[in-house]
Structure 1
């Protein structure tokens, strides 16, 4: 019996040992399997993390490229295949005239303001939208380079300044320009900023039909030659005026322009040569302070520089008997206060030679001027990029060669100008 119990106990222990070994074997297998699965999941997680990091790097690179690359504008083509760009502004000008000219417009009339005590035009409010502008720039790529063009119009034409007129209309091909744009001699680049759309004495806003060629000596120096129709109503034009302009940029802060002009003045019986020289300069004193200056000396012409006496006078036989000669200068400083505010102080002066032979040909000497001057101060405010508001005070005087019946030789221009502009 004891032996039986011993055998039974041995058998039981053997079975338990086998079961334990089997259980241990199964547990080891399951643990190993779980370990493999965890390693596989860990590997997959690492791959996913790497992919996410790579995608983040690529996304940042794309964002940086978009932020530093100019926005692509869908090209608009004309029927002829030219790319074009529409621009312009809506502009309202207003002027309160304490003293000034007789024409019903809020712009400069310094050369013809009435003399003191003689039908003066005082306490007048004038306004217009005639300086509203519309323009188109064109460009056509060709096998020999781009052919460009411009058309720009406003409504400052006609006696009442309410007719459509061409400001610029020209084509460019290589170094050539053909059409109407700023005169090569009387350029507005060196005039201090004004609200007045016609500018002030000493400067010019002349546009002429012309053929122009530009030759570049170096990146900072070029010579511009032009044959221009100066539209001088006092002369029967036979030959175009010839003009030359040498531009040089000394540095990023200083640029100058030296100019010359020669023109034939012709009547039915006589001819005379008119000529002139000019010198302009722009200087950036600081990043926010800018100076502009322009000078002219002209003999025999009144078609290029504004506000002058007639360039020449004739006798009853249409012979040219004398010519006018004058000097003019304009100078101004502009301060950019911040991104929204800027202001300008400016001064202009013109003086005619006292040529008695010229002066005495005029029966009414109050209509011709010994000298003119104007000073102005303005401020512009741009609350947002496309909109600007401006306010400007200008005071000027003219001194005539002859006195009015009351003995006065002086006339005044005393105005407060305002403008609102929306650029598009």
Structure 2
């Protein structure tokens, strides 16, 4: 009988390497197929100072600054929600071509903010497309995060977005080219306009795409990104045919302090509208004759501290401020003037990719007339990434 000796240390290292390796669905010829995502349960207790949001309102699934009720002057009971709608799945391919280049694709889905489904019996919600794109020789074609946004600057929070007041946050169809530290894109245009009769009007009449340019600097200390956008706001309804220019700049990045890190973003522009604050304010106002872009300033700062190898916390401040034209308030009604939020969390990962967390958030929205509304929220989450 032959005895096979096994080196326990080598076996342990081999198993560890397999576990740490990216999930691979299959290898078909020259194409590698990969999958990933996570399963996440959220339990959310929300207390609004000026009226409770209705059942299954998106503002109860995650923090959306523009949905914070203001001015109701009535006490409201707290509401409690649980859902697994943030769970996510992605599938990607990487194919080696005969010329030595690679062509890659990615499709990503989740279930939050989607239509269909209810909480009465089965909690069945429709999947929605997050990303779907192909990359080749520096080019990207499809839907993904806007080139104007720095996704790497988003802090780790239990809330779906986190610094919703102060971050650029857009996914849309585009064609993007990256060379070295620079990237340029043309992206799908869309305008949100305030009118006296209809409130918010979403138009899709732009004659040209949104244009962005971005520069990224990476170093041992972290990274820094500066991005610019130029686009056309349009309103072609009720006999009107008006356009207005929109421009913006955003600076963001991350500074490392050992395992700790500081993330930040500051964005200022004319008519940015849907690009910041989850469309907290519109891009422009139509006064019956012409369009007037709404100026805004927004940003956030977040510090993450690692208490030890298993516990970490993120402390976050986020803000948004609109410079509403006082002469147009008769058309605008009582628009949002500012929104701020603070949050702090404690995250515990007993093993890699499994995280238990608790987070407290307090937020306030104020309108131009001085009406205010507050939100106090406690959120508990369990997340496993695969």
Give yes or no for contact 1:344–1:379 (8 Å, CA) kept in 2: yes
Matched, 1:110 2:72: no
Question: Superposed, which structure 2 residues align to 1:377-396 within 5 Å?
Answer: 377-396=344-363
Q: Deviations over 1:141-161 (max 9, x none)?
A: 102311101111001243568
Within 1, Cα distance between the matches of 2:65 and 2:317? Answer: 13
Cα offset, 1:238, TM superposition: 2.2
**RMSD between aligned residues:** 2.7
Match of 1:283 in 2: 255
Partner of 2:102: 146
Equivalent in the alignment of 2:225: 257
Distance 1:329 1:392 in 2: 20
User: For residues 276-324 of structure 1, what are the alpha-carbon distances to aligned partners after superposition, in whole Å with 9 as ceiling and x for unaligned?
Assistant: 1000021012x221100100002113121124311111144xx433221
**2: distance between equivalents of 1:213 and 1:74?**
28
Distance 2:110 2:12 in 1: 40
Q: CA separation in 2, counterparts of 1:96 and 1:420?
A: 15
CA distance in structure 1 between the aligned counterparts of 2:130 and 2:24, rounded to whole angstroms: 28
Which residue of 2 is the match for residue 170 of structure 1?
133
Aligned to 1:266: 234
Does the CA contact (< 8 Å) of 1:192 and 1:330 recur in 2? no
CA pair 126-160 structure 1, distance change in 2 beyond 3 A: farther
Q: How far does residue 120 in structure 1 lie from its aligned partner after superposition?
A: 6.1
Matches within 5 A, 1:259-408: 259-268=227-236, 269-285=241-257, 287-307=258-278, 308-316=280-288, 319-362=289-332, 364-365=333-334, 368-402=335-369
* Distance (Å, rounded) in 2 between the aligned partners of 1:359 and 1:280: 32
Distance change in 2, residues 1:334/1:247 (3 Å): same
108, 111, 114: which one aligns with 1:158: 114
Say if 2:168 is the partner of 1:214.
no
User: Contact 1:230 / 1:303 at 8 angstroms: preserved in 2?
Assistant: no
Q: Contact 1:102–1:121 at 8 Å: present in 2 too?
A: no
Q: Deviations over 1:18-70 (max 9, x none)?
A: xxxxxxxxxxxxxxxxxxxxxxxxxxxxxxxxxxxxxx9xx98x959976995
Call closer, same or farther: CA 1:323–1:83 in 2, change over 3 Å. same
Q: Which has the higher strand share?
A: 2
More helix by share: 1
- Specify the SS of the correspondent of 2:27: coil
TM-fit CA distance, 1:225 = 0.3
Show the 5 A alignment for 1:192-231: 192-199=155-162, 200-216=164-180, 222-231=181-190
- C-alpha contact 1:322 1:357 (8 A) present in aligned 2: no
Pick closer, same or farther for the CA change 1:313–1:121 going to 2, 3 Å. farther
Structure 1 contact 169–181 (Cα < 8 Å) conserved? yes
What TM-score, normalized to structure 2?
0.83
Deviation at 1:121, TM superposition (A): 4.9
Question: In 1, distance between residues paired with 2:137 and 2:252?
Answer: 26
Q: How many pairs were matched up? A: 349
Q: What's the secondary structure of 2:328's corresponding residue? A: helix
SS at match of 2:275: coil
Q: List aligned pairs for 1:62-101, cutoff 5 A.
A: 63=10, 70-71=17-18, 76-77=26-27, 82-99=31-48
For residues 74 and 130 of structure 1, what CA distance do their matches in structure 2 show? 24
